[in-house]
Amino acid sequence: MFFILFKLAWRNLLRNKRRTIIASIAIGIGLAALIFVDALMIGMTQNMIKTATASFLGDAQIHRKGYQDEQELSLTIQELDKVTAKLAKEAIVHYFTRRTFSLGMITSPANVSAVNLIGVQPSTERYLSQIDDAITKGVYFKDNDSRDIIIGTKLAENLEIGIEDRVVVTVAQSGSGELSQEGFRVSGIFHFVDEAMNSGMAFVRIKKAQQMFAIGDNVHEIAIKFTSTAYTQERELPFWKTYSQYGNEVLSWAEILPQLKIILDMSKYSKYIMGVVLFGVVIFGIINTLFMSLYERMFEFGVLRAVGTRPVGMARIILFEAGTLAIVSIAIGSIIGFGITALFAHLGLNYTGIEMMGVTIQEYIFPVLNIQQFILYPAAVFLFTIIAGLYPAWHVAKMTPVDAMRRSF
Amino acid sequence: MEQTQNHEVIVTDKVTKIFDPDGIPVNALNGIDLTITSGEFTAIVGPSGSGKTTFLNIISGLDTPTEGKVWLSGKIISEMNGNELSDFRRDNIGFIFQAYNLIPVLTVEENVEYIMLLAGVSKAERHERVKKMLKAVGLEGVEDRLPTQLSGGQQQRVAIARAMVSEPTIILADEPTANLDSKTGNDLLEMMRRLNDETGMTFIFSTHDPMVMDRARRLITLRDGQVDTDETK
Ligand SMILES: Nc1ncnc2c1ncn2[C@@H]1O[C@H](COP(=O)(O)OP(=O)(O)OP(=O)(O)O)[C@@H](O)[C@H]1O
Ligand SMILES: [Mg+2]
């Protein structure tokens, strides 16, 4: 019985090939769009997380509790030795690096500017941030010169200085609040897409910074890179508890940049919105197509009904036709969706320089294909189509045979 | 089907049908009392609008009477619901319409076996019966053709094969020859009569064609929704 229903459906769809093709291409394009947008969202999410975490943030950071809000110089990480000793043995931690921060003033013969002075460990910092990769002039940190300072292009421009030029940095010391001044020599100039970084950050060796800030061997931040970014989402890992002891707290990138987390969560909703739009396309495409072919075949339906097909059997004929149309549309949509997405997954989409919620996109976005897109969305299209088919199916089921046969003339 | 003793197949009791599509009631049937016995070969005749189609529709359960009762094989069909009626038609009534009887996307074999599919007959038996029936209507070897690849007369023969294949109690045909030329129509009637002789199956058909009327064994004339004459030859 199911075989004949399928044959009926298939041959009826072939009866008006053009209409079937137009309807299935319309639905197929909807499906393809859904697949593409999903792939783009994944690509964008990965891109933004990578941009946010790779350029400076890291996957997670440890601070003294309260430091994030107050940025107070004296709020250094507690039990630093214990913490770093443990981190060194942590299986999920790939790299970690210490940092210390203070706001200060940077002066050149030509100009003066506010700056965020950051003390870093050059050897491990390179794994956590992209400062080393972003150097456009000069070098990252040379040998062992404690007077090295690395600044951004914008800051260099404001100060009207270049490589090997001298600057003076002034900061207030921890506790006493006394000013401390040091002279540095520009060893490298970096350029990020994010202009705020180019104009407001200066990097020096951590030892030097600790001296200037008068904080001993203490640091404000440990930035951590996991062996896999996925660990940032695994909140049940003991890691998050272990390092939130001694008055410290460990935060993942999502907690440090809650705005980014929000936009990424929101991008999920755009999928649902797309889904609703697709649903509309399917509903109208299917209902219209089915009704058109239905009215052309009224007499046939009358005959089928007369010779003993039950009302529900009549509905089944329509639903099979809807289902078959869905399968054709899904095939078309999956091929188009795969083709377009694969193409852009190869070429990439240039959104560089666009800032979203504090994260500046620095690389091409590459849509990411996955198997789910070709299971979930086609299944949704199939379901939508069947739902859309219910109305014409019900219409046919409730028709009496005489009505159907009379209406056709 | 051997018929040893004739029995009542259809009984109608004061069947009335009033159509009221736009507030103007039309009395299509005005109290029809008729009894059809098994094995009959009966023509319903009468002028256009006299109620032939309406009558056939009502005795086959395609339509319901406004008043009155219809018994078919001892069951009151005028009171059955949708599914009961569908199954009853499938098992008891073979239909032949004036034209467009066949589903154009199904082959001859698929058209003929459709009712048996509904009834859940096995594939082997379906095939066997289709073959036998097509042979009986003189259409061997066209099983795999589509209806559009057949002539009008051939299509009507396939319709007869479909109507008879599940051995229903009664075959109803509303002007089965109206779309055929007179020679083809005559041949078709000739064949129906032969099948009626051979199988004893009951045939009721409506017609305008005097030549067709001549072949009937009983002639019921309707006029204004009432039985005018009823003669058995
Ligand atoms: N669905 C309907 N709505 C309104 N009136 C109808 C309907 N069906 C039939 N009638 C009317 O009922 C009467 C009987 O019609 P019916 O079709 O049974 O006649 P008939 O004898 O089959 O005619 P013909 O020889 O032209 O086929 C006619 O007056 C017709 O107009
Ligand atoms: Mg008629």
Do residues A46 and A72 both lie within one domain?
no
pLDDT of residue A356: 65
Tell whether A188 is covered by a domain: yes
pLDDT tops 70 at residue A407: no
* Low-confidence winner among A389-393, B177-181, B222-226 (lowest mean pLDDT): B177-181
Percent of chain B with pLDDT over 70: 98
Taking CA atoms, what residue in A is nearest to B121?
A1
Give residue B54 CA to ligand 2 midpoint distance, Å. Answer: 7
Do residues A142 and A47 both lie within one domain?
no
Pairs of residues, one from chain A and one from chain B, whose beta carbons lie less than 8 Å apart: 72
- Whether residue B95 and residue A309 make contact (CB cut-off 8 A), yes or no, is no
Give residue A311 CA to ligand 2 midpoint distance, Å. Answer: 25
Question: Nearest 5°: phi and psi at A172?
Answer: -95, 135
pLDDT of residue A358: 60
Tell whether A61 is covered by a domain: no
Give me the residue from A14, A304, A308 closest to B87, CB to CB. A308
What CATH number has the domain bearing residue B207? 3.40.50.300
For residues A383-407, average pLDDT: 89
> What is the DSSP secondary structure assignment for residue B32, as one 8-state letter?
E
Output b/e per residue, B125-138; b: 16+ Cβ within 10 A: ebeebbeebbebbe
Tell whether B130 is covered by a domain: yes
pLDDT of residue B81: 81
Number of domains in chain B: 1
DSSP-derived 3-state class of residue A329: helix
Q: Give the C-alpha separation, A192 to B80, whole Å.
A: 81
Give the residue whose CA is nearest to atom 26 of ligand 1. B48
The predicted-structure confidence for B48-103, as pLDDT tens digits, reads as follows: 999 999 999 999 989 989 999 999 888 898 778 888 899 999 999 999 998 888 99
* Domain stops at, among A246, A276, A299: A246
Q: How confident is the model at residue A309 (pLDDT cuts 50, 70, 90)?
A: very high
pLDDT of residue B227: 94
pLDDT of residue A256: 82
User: Average model confidence (pLDDT) for chain A?
Assistant: 87
Q: Is B49 in the pocket of ligand 1 (CB under 6 A)?
A: yes
Number of domains in chain A: 2
Q: Is B17 in the pocket of ligand 1 (CB under 6 A)?
A: no
Tell whether A205 is covered by a domain: yes
For residues B194-212, average pLDDT: 90
CB atoms within 10 A of CB A181: 12
Q: Which ligand is closest to the CA of B18, given by its number? A: 1
Q: Is B19 in the pocket of ligand 1 (CB under 6 A)?
A: yes
The predicted-structure confidence for A180-231, as pLDDT tens digits, reads as follows: 899 999 999 998 877 888 898 999 999 999 989 989 899 999 999 998 877 8
The predicted-structure confidence for A20-48, as pLDDT tens digits, reads as follows: 999 899 889 989 988 998 898 888 888 87
Tell whether A253 is covered by a domain: no
What does each C-alpha distance from B130 to A114, B161, B170 come to in angstroms? Answer: 95, 8, 19
Do residues A23 and A89 both lie within one domain?
no
Quote the domain boundaries for residue B101: 40-49+83-232
The predicted-structure confidence for B104-154, as pLDDT tens digits, reads as follows: 999 999 999 999 999 999 999 999 999 999 998 989 889 999 999 999 999
Q: Are A219 and A99 in contact (CB under 8 A)?
A: yes
Do residues A302 and A396 both lie within one domain?
yes
Tell whether B184 is covered by a domain: yes
Pocket test for ligand 1, best of B54, B206, B209 (most atoms within 8 A of CB): B54
- CA proximity to B38, closest of B65, B72, B82: B72
The atom number, within ligand 1, closest to the CA of B17 reads: 12
Quote the domain boundaries for residue A184: 66-246
Tell whether A199 is covered by a domain: yes
Query: Locate tokens 């086959």: which residue?
Result: B60
Do residues A217 and A341 both lie within one domain?
no
The atom number, within ligand 1, closest to the CA of B206 reads: 22
The predicted-structure confidence for A320-379, as pLDDT tens digits, reads as follows: 999 999 999 999 999 999 999 999 999 988 877 776 666 667 778 899 999 989 999 999
Query: Locate tokens 């030097």: which residue?
Result: A208
Distance of CA A300 to the CA centre of its chain: 53
